[in-house]
Each structure stands twice: as C-alpha cells, then as structure tokens.
Structure 1
Amino acid sequence: MALSAEIERVMNQGNCLMPDINICQNDLANPTEPLVTKIMVHYLRSFGFRMEPPYKIGTELAHSSREARLFLIRVCRQVERIVQISFPNKTYTYVDIIKPAVKKTLATLSYLFNHLAYYKVFKKKVVGPVEEALKLKDSLAAELKTKSQQLEQCSQNTKECEVAINQLKKDLQDTQAKLLPLKKSCSEQENALELLELQHNELDKRIGHWEQLVVEESQVTELREKIKSASSHVESCKTELASKKQETKEHRRIIENSQHIVASLEKATAALSLCKVDDYKESFKQLEAVEKQLPTWKVNYQKRLQDAKAKKEELGLCDQRYEERSQENDAENHKLLNELKQLQVDVEDRKKRLEDLSKNLVELDQRNLGQDQLYAMLNEQIHEALGQNWHMNST
C-alpha cells in the first residue's frame, strides 16, 4: 500500500511538471530502460540541457551501439550530479538506467521532481536579477565604447586644430618678417619724398626770384627744363609712395585678419568640447577664407602637414588628457565589476538557501515515508491479531 501511494505521488508530480511524457502507474510499478531514459531526457531538457539520443528510444536497444551507451552514461552522470546536490553520497549509474529497480527509481524521480518544482518556483526570483545585471553590464559596455569613440574623435579634432594654429602662427611670423623690410623701404621713400619736396620749394623760390630778374633766354630755357624734370621726378616719387602705402595697408589688413583668426582659434582650443564641433567648423571656414586670400600660405601649410609626424612630442598634453579619461573609464569598469561580484555573491546565497529548503523537503518526505511504513506495519499487526474478522470487516 505504501509503495502504491508512493507510485501515485511520483506519477502525479511527473505529470504535473512534465505533461508531455504522460506517466502512468503501471510504468512506475514496472520501470523499463526506454521509459526511464525518456523521463530522464525530458527532465534534463527542462533545465536547458541539449539531449538528442543517437537512437530511437523504445524501438532500438540502448546497448546496441557505442554511441548509445555513451549517451546513457552521460545522462546518468548529469542526473547523478543533480542528486548529489543534496545527497553527496548517493549515486546513479549506467546499471540503474539499464536495469531499473522500482524503489531506487521512485526515490530518484521523487527527488528530481522536487528539485525541478523548486527550480521553477524560484527561477524568476534568482535568475531575473542576474539577467538584469548582465543586461546592465552590456549596456554600460556599449555606452563606454561609444564614449571612447567620441573622445577619440574629439582628441583627433583637437590635434588638427592645434596643428592649424601652430601653422598660422608660423605663417604670421613669416609675414611680419617680410613686412619689416617693406616698412623700412616705405620710410626711406617718405624721407626721399620730403627731401624732393624741399628741393621743389627751393626751386619755386628761385624761379620766382629769377622771374623778377632779367636774364638771358638760354638760361631761362635751361632753368625751365630743370624745373620740368624735377616736377616729373617728384610726381613719379609721389606715385611710387602711394603704391607703397597701399601695399603696406594691404599687408597690415592681412596681418590683422590673421591675428584675429589665431586669437579665435586659441579661444576655441581652450574651450573645446564635444558640444563645440560647430565652432571648430566655423573657424575652419575662416581658415579657408584666409587660405584663399593668401595662396602662398596654403602651399606652406600643405607642406608642413606632411611633417606632422615629427611634432608628436608637442601633443603630449592631449595624450595626458586621454590617459586621464582612460583612467576614469577604468575606475568605472572596476566599480561595475565589484557590483557584478556582489550580485554573484547574492546569487550564491540564494542557491544555498534553495539547497537548505530542498534538504528540509527531503527530510519531510522521509518522515512521511516513515509514517506510511508505520501505518503499513500497524495494518499488518491488526490483520494478524484479528484474522478472518478483520478481513470480513474490511470487505
């Protein structure tokens, strides 16, 4: 009677947890190798194991091929590991599945079904936080990768801006050096013009004085020719001085524009961030305008771009910033790893609690089994004591 009750209980558990296999009472009362194999395969699949038998269960013999025997051994080992979670000394071997005994099969299935029931109850509570933590880790890793790419792009833009600023500073120095001799030449021309104007005034005074005097016609003609030549020379000097002044003004305007652009680029570099890429583009447009106005600067700029590799030492500041950002990212990663470890510790604690609950349930099952055995013994003793009367009353 106790055995039939145990069979009934295990059968109900199996059909409730795995309705696909449809266990009946006769299957557990007389277990066979195909039935036990079928139940164990479905049971392991419930935990996510990939179990594909290399033979057709129920129509072929399990020991007909080496692959089939290896498959059954692997199933037995996996079942044994699950059983030993709460009963470290218990085993489940190849013989137990080839020649299954009723009591051992019932005891093994009872524990396995209880373990599966608790697994389904606590699956969401235990696995859910772990999955959320893993998703959070993946999202943070993706965000960290995006931020690193943005930082690298910003660093590259900063390097290009600094190279352009250094080039403009050098070109500005070259232009100022070229302007110095032009200023000197202009000053000399102005001095010469002043001298010529003084001479012209003196000649005008002489002409006025000579006109009041009576002189020979040849001297008057000669003097007029000198005056004409001096006047023409003065006019040519004025024209040349005006062109020099215009050229000087043009150079001054170019230098002022260059200085304004350099100052703007320095300010943009000091305050450069991810949100000011548009300012950098606007400065780059101004730089193109300057290059259009000064084609010679553009040629020099293209030549010096090819020598940019020799100036890596000048970009040490940007490398230092990048290292600082990398250290900050490493600190964040370390923090996330610590949080993940804490979650793993919590999962282990919950697993231990689940194992304790499983042990308590097994103890309760053993107590119930003892009570069933005691009830059966009492029934036998009463039957022996009452004899035929007990049989008649029971019928």
Structure 2
Amino acid sequence: MGMGMGSLSGRTHACSLALSLCMTLVLSAKAQELGSLDWFREEWGRAQTWQPPAPVAAEYSVSTYEIYSEQELAALEQRIAGKPDHPDRPKVVAVQQFMQRGGDVLRYRLWYYSEEEWRVSRDDLNTNLGFFDMGRSRSVVWGMSDTELSLLDSEIRAPVGYEYKATGLGLIRLHLALFMSPFSIDAGRGLRPTRTEVNGENWRGWASTPTGDLAVIYDGRLETKSGIIDVTEYRIGRFDASPDAVGSKVVFSEWADVLDGTVRAARLRRHLRADGTVKATYALDDVRPSSQSEVGSVTGIPRRGSNDPVRGTIVAEVVNDFRPAVAATAVYRDGSQVRQSPLPGQRLVPASPSAWRAFGWVVAGAIVVGLIILRVRHARV
C-alpha cells in the first residue's frame, strides 16, 4: 500500500513536472510570438541599449529643412535684441542663415570601430562652407575643416564649442540607430510597450510613459515566413511637454538586409511635422563591413601639410592644439606660420567615461543645431 501511494505520489510529481515544463514551453513560445506584446517588450529592451555594428563604414545624405517656425525664430531674435554679448546670439545667427537657405543638403561618411576609433566626414552640398570632419584616434580627438584643425586630449573635458567626442559619437549612434533600430528613437525617455495589434500583415505597437504624458505609436509590416517586422511609421500620439509635436512622425521605407545579411536597415527615412510637411530626409546610400585597419587608416591624427586619406593635403590656416602640453594656436599664411599664441588649454577634468547618451527627438535637434553652429564658426576662420 505504501508502495502504491509512493508510486502514485511519484507519478503525480512527474505529471506536475511535465505539465510545468509544457506550460513553460508554451509560455516561452508565446513570448516569442511575432508581433505579440511580449515580442515587442523584448525587442524594445534590446533597442534601449543598441550599439552600432562594428567595424562598419557607411555613407548617407541628409536633407534638412526649417528647424524653427517663423514664430519661434522671432521669439529667439527678440531674446537677443540689443544684447550683442547674449550667449544665444551665435545660435540665432546660425539658424537665421540656415532658414534663409531653406535648409541644407549634407553628405555623411562614417567609419566606426569602437568608442576610441571612429571618424565622421561631412560635406555641405548646397553651401560654400566646405567640409567638416571629426574623429578619434585613441588618446586624441580632432576636428577639421578646410581652414581649421583642432586637436584635443580625449580623456580631458573639451572646451565649449569643441565637444567633438560627444558630438561625433552621438551622431554615429543616432543616425545608424534610426536606419537600423527604430525602437531606439525614444531610448532613455522612460517609455514602455503597453499593447500590440496584428491584422494580417499589419502590425501596430503602443508605448507610453507610466504617467501617460508621452505616448508613441509604431506601425509595421509583418513577414511571418522570414520572422521579421519592418517598422514603417513612428508617430507621437501624446506629448504633454510639447503639444505641437503630437502627430509628428518618421516614415521608414526601402528595408533591406545589409552587412552580409546580419542587419536590417531602412534605406530611406522621412521626418514629418504634425502638419505633414517634411522636416528632414535621410537616405542610406551605402553601408558595409569595415575593418580595424581601414578605420585606423582614416582616423590617424591629422597634421598640417600631411596627406589625409579622405581630404588629401591638409592646408588648414589655423591649428588649435588644446592638449595641455601644447595649448597654443598657430596661424599660417601662404604656407608659412605667421603667428602663434597661447590657448587656455583643456581643464584637467576627466571626460565622461562614455560618450553614449539617450537620444530622442530633443537631443537629435540639439545635435543638428550644434553642427550648424560648428559649421558657421569654422566658416568664419
């Protein structure tokens, strides 16, 4: 009798284990169901810590249009009126010039191996402002235009206006993420997936903050056979801090396998305002696997008179060396140095251990404005 009860108890325990295992498998399968809320949460979590593939080389163009309305620009102009030393004056002047041109068409080329080795090269295609490049070669961060070259210690805080380390890395992550990882748009803003819907080949996902003051909606195309969902649209459904942004959207198209089939990327991305007008267009022309040797060849420390693999002979008229051991500006005319003067140099304050940031719409706008100001400042040299 004891044996019978023991056997029954054993069988019951075994059945319980089997049932538990079956339930676990079912739940696991359900968690992986394409387009489900569990799938959305998993993909969302992965996107919040997204890093660029490496080593990689890419080329793309960005067409940007007005970044401020006429009313917003008027308010900025009013703020600096009669105040020649107002800290916002360079920003306002840069934005005025930008809007007078009706926007910019920029071509970007980038190479990325790690946070310590990368380069971003940018050409202005509808202005006479030339190029501007930023890069890092381990201990040195540098910025270069056709008239100016600046060198900085990568481990020490950069002077205001020369934050190439944060700006360059931020741009690489922001731009590549928006081609390759749409769920990264709101990384770091406290949103979390709340629900999903699947209707045939159409998928929709909602995400919001716990308080509901910010809510976004994603649409996508579901391909069951290949097990992927290509996001086709992102839009803001609610934004209490900026109600005018509600209805703004990003439209993704021309999805394709890139980097030897290891990554999906949207080759065309359009940013639209709430009224439907286009704010910016990003077109991915080429992306390919690179190598440490290739990245190393384009990130070497630029020196006046040397041959740069991207720009050719460096003929900068001004060389700013902020590194503490030098801390000087040298000015050249007709190939000869005509003046050298001391620089304040970099403050001996450690730089941030990592330049990665959470990038949303606000930070993206700040990078755009920052690059406009950098371009205007270098054009005046």
- Scaled by the length of structure 1, what TM-score is found? 0.17
- Scaled by the length of structure 2, what TM-score is found? 0.18
Give the number of the structure whose alpha-carbon radius of gyration is greater.
Answer: 1
Higher helix share: 1
